[in-house]
């Protein structure tokens, strides 16, 4: 089964989401983080779960997670989360570097 990988920026996105929600409620922030990670883990078994998003970057796919989008691509090692962004954002205005190094799981 493929390994789930996250870019440094995707990890920073997750931390930002958690911190933003935690200002009101730490428990809610923990639950949201758990749901984001659980949904991303589904890509290990179904890497083509999200629709293609060539408008974002070459090879991009987007997985909807409540109000967020996990932007990812599939390479020879499996799915790789590049960014996790608010679905209401203008994706053309978001800095996306699909070739940056990945962190370990």
Write the CATH number for 76.
3.30.2310.20
CB 68 within 8 A of CB 89: no
- Asked whether residue 99 is domain-assigned, the answer is no
CA distance 7 to 13: 10
Give the range of the structural domain holding residue 42, as residue numbers without chain letter: 5-88
pLDDT tens, residue by residue, 38-87:
999 999 999 999 999 998 888 999 999 999 999 999 998 899 999 999 99
Pairing of strands 5-7, 78-86: parallel
Give the pLDDT score at 97: 64
CA distance 99 to 63: 19
CB 10 within 8 A of CB 82: yes
0.85 cut: is pTM over it? yes
Chain mean position to CA 41? 10
- Asked whether residue 23 is domain-assigned, the answer is yes
- Answer yes or no: is pLDDT of 98 > 60: no
Give the pLDDT score at 99: 60
CB 60 within 8 A of CB 53: yes
């Amino acid at each position: 089964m493929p390994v789930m990988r996250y870019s440094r920026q995707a990890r920073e996105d997750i931390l930002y989401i958690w911190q933003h929600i935690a200002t009101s409620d730490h428990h809610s922030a923990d639950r949201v983080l758990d749901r984001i990670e659980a949904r991303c883990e589904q890509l290990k078994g179904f890497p083509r779960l999200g629709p293609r998003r060539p408008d974002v970057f070459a090879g991009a796919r987007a997985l909807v997670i409540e109000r967020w989008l996990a932007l990812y691509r599939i390479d020879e090692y499996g799915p790789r989360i590049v960014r996790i962004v608010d679905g209401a954002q203008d994706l053309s205005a978001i800095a996306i570097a699909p070739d940056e190094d990945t962190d370990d799981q």
